[in-house]
Structure 1
Amino acid sequence: MTTAIGIDLGGTNIKGVLVDTSGKIIHQVTQTTEHPGKEKPGDQRWKKTIHQMVAELKKRNKVATIGIAAPGLPNSANSAIRLMPERLDGLEHFIWADYLKEQSVWVLNDAHAALIAETRFGVGKGLKNVVMLTLGTGVGGGILIEGKLYQGNGQMAGHLGHMTLDVDREDAGITGMPGTLEDAIGNATVLKRSFGRFASTNELVDAYRKGDHFAAYVWLNAVRKLALGLCSLNNLLSPDLFILGGGITHTGDALYKPLADFIDVYEWKNSGRKTPILQAFYSDMAGAVGAAGFALSKAGICEYKEGDSTLQF
């Protein structure tokens, strides 16, 4: 059985999977990402965690190739992340193949990886035009157009979390854009958005479920902005499907019920169609599975025919 390892390096957790060529997860592991302040300067323990994770997964089966999904922009050779400002110090230009002492290691953007997993193996399989948002520490995105991952100039396309929803906000995200979708709903800004009352989305949503009025205001404002972002993307791209993935989607009905209500308010009424919204089949493991799928294709193990309705690499 041919298998590949996929690693998804997130701001909160590191996920690893061993998958076969059909996308079936044979084994998976998750570890907490070390954050600045919890480790010595320059320690970068998340690198060691990934090294250990790869070693553990390799014990399960012979591995043909490894994929690493991470935030930021990969280089043209897909050997490293070339740009990731402000987060995960030490990630930029770090050559994973050298560190892991493996010949076949491929690096790509984490949200692009999640889209690959869902359109090759998951809920978007068989569709040609799909938009995916990953809701976690930040907000990532990926776009499938006519069956192909759209990466744009410098592989910058799909950073949907950096769209502006509030032009009057003075603070700006890592791209310099004010009032972004990532600022509106990403887990990294919960403490600021809640004026220090809630440290995480889980805490915020727990309070919302218990009837806390202030929590309801903060949470529903974030969901409203997500709905505005999705409706804007629908007007721009008119996809067959929206896919939502990432840890924030684990909030379930607390997310999807108010989101549906807000979508009903803002979606183009006389367009004659509604774009379905589905949760990722692989949930928050989509980035890891997609990284493995990407590595299999780059290593020449999986071949995809031109004209196939599923994802082309």
Structure 2
Amino acid sequence: MRANGDLALGVDVGGSYVKMCLVRGEEVLARRAFPRPDLSPKDTAAYIAAQAEEISPGIIGEARLGVAVAGAISRSGGGLRAHCPNIRGWWGVDLEELFEPLGFGSGLQALNDANAHAYAEWRVGSAVGAKNFVMIALGTGVGGAIFLEGKLYEGSHGMAGEIGHMKVSPRGPRCNCGKRGCLESFFSSYSIPRELERAGVKVESMKDAFERAKTDRRVLSFIDRASAKMAQIIINVVHLFDPELVVLGGGVAKSRELLLPLLRRHIGRMVFEPFRESFEIRFSSLDEYAGALGAALFALDRGTGGAP
């Protein structure tokens, strides 16, 4: 069946949940989220296909498909391979081999979940009208995306923007990627509770940590130190790319009142003076379906030749 030109399904495969968004143009027709099944990649893809059919019977083959994953997407060797350190079994997975046999057809579009989120921000969110901006998405891990001159920059192999694996301390905590000192090992939904527990403070989640920081000076001090690592990366990216805008998304968007003053203080201390007033920090204006929405819009635009 030939894909409908203005219909697209976006699927965001995260560390904990799968989110789906069906669009016609920019109109959202349906959304669904469900816990990611602890299955093989092949069986997970089949489960996703079944969920898609429940959303809209007959959608497979009719809609263009965009897939976002919590990891790097490589396009070397002629395939679309996902490398996801936070999803067991999803390392080196060929996405076309997963989804095309299920009836989705050729023309699958795939991108990192932060790139998908950034694409949605650029199309309908906080970055509308921006030519040069950087997105940092904090969730299970830390993702990044770069827009240069109005185009999503994907690099030579589709893997650009892995901000979460930029090093901030070579002898720092171990990251889920296996290396030490990544930003993600200091500032993510798994590392903040882990490192606080090692310091003798028990929190249930990153959200809980930010809430506790309002009244617990020990937790606030820890969040402040982690924010310094985040600010270090923001400054490095600003110095390298000279963006007009840095967009922060993910779970931290709900803690902007606490986080933004901390970041501004550390950035003010580290920034190269000519850059001090050159960029703005904004938080995402979209909800938890931003990755799925961006994947759908990207598939729609790329399929019609409109994606930058």
Q: 1:79 to 1:50 in 2, by over 3 A?
A: farther
1:285 aligns with 2:285: no
The residue that corresponds to 2:65 in the other structure is 66
Q: Distance in 1 between matches of 2:58 and 2:253?
A: 30
Residues 152-193 of structure 1 deviation map (CA, whole Å, 9 limit, x = unaligned): 1211211011111112326355173x3111111111223321
Give the Cα separation in 1 of the matches to 2:276 and 2:129: 23
Q: Which residue of 2 aligns with 1:128?
A: 131
**Counterpart residue number, 1:275:** 279
Aligned residue runs from structure 1 range 136-285, under 5 A = 136-169=139-172, 171-174=174-177, 176=179, 178-195=180-197, 197-209=202-214, 211-271=215-275, 273-285=277-289
Cα 1:261/1:53, change in 2 over 3 Å: farther
Q: Aligned residue for 2:105?
A: 103
C-alpha separation in 2, matches of 1:249 and 1:46: 29
Secondary structure of the residue aligned to 1:140 is strand
Corresponding residue of 1:32: 35
Q: Give the match for residue 81 of structure 2.
A: 81
Q: Which runs of 5+ in 1 are unaligned?
A: 305-311
Identity %: 27
Query: Deviations along 1:270-290, whole A, 9 cap, x unmatched?
Result: 446231111122233221111
Q: Could you say if the C-alpha distance between residues 122 and 33 of structure 1 is closer, same or farther in structure 2, counting changes exceeding 3 Å?
A: same
Higher mean alpha-carbon deviation, 239-248 vs 211-220, is at 211-220
Residues 86 and 140, structure 2, Cα contact 8 Å, conserved in 1? no
Partner letter of residue 97 of structure 1? F
CA distance in 2, matches of 1:44, 1:217: 44
CA contact (8 A) 1:117 1:286 kept: yes
Q: TM-score, normalised by structure 1?
A: 0.83
- Pick closer, same or farther for the CA change 1:224–1:112 going to 2, 3 Å: same
Unaligned 5+ segments in structure 2 are: none
CA contact (8 A) 2:69 2:82 kept: no
- Cα distance in 1 for partners of 2:244, 2:22 equals 30
Q: Distance in 2 between matches of 1:259 and 1:225?
A: 9
Counterparts of 1:254 and 1:33, CA distance in 2:
31
RMSD (CA atoms): 2.8
Question: What one-letter code is carried by the residue in structure 2 that aligns with 1:93?
Answer: D
Q: Distance in 1 between matches of 2:275 and 2:157?
A: 34
What is the alpha-carbon distance in structure 1 between the residues aligned to residue 176 and residue 56 of structure 2? 38
Give the letter aligned to residue 142 of structure 1: A
Distance 2:185 2:164 in 1: 8
Q: CA deviation at 1:84?
A: 2.9
1:186 and 1:46, CA in 2 relative to 1: closer, same or farther beyond 3 A? farther
**Which secondary structure does the structure 1 equivalent of 2:193 belong to?**
helix
Give me the whole-angstrom Cα distance separating, in 1, the residues matched to 2:185 and 2:86: 14
Normalised TM-score (structure 2): 0.84
Equivalences, count: 296
1:156 partner letter? M
Residues 164 and 181 of structure 1 are in contact (CA less than 8 Å); yes or no, is this contact kept in structure 2?
yes
2:49 is aligned with 1:51 = yes
Q: Distance in 2 between matches of 1:27 and 1:126?
A: 26
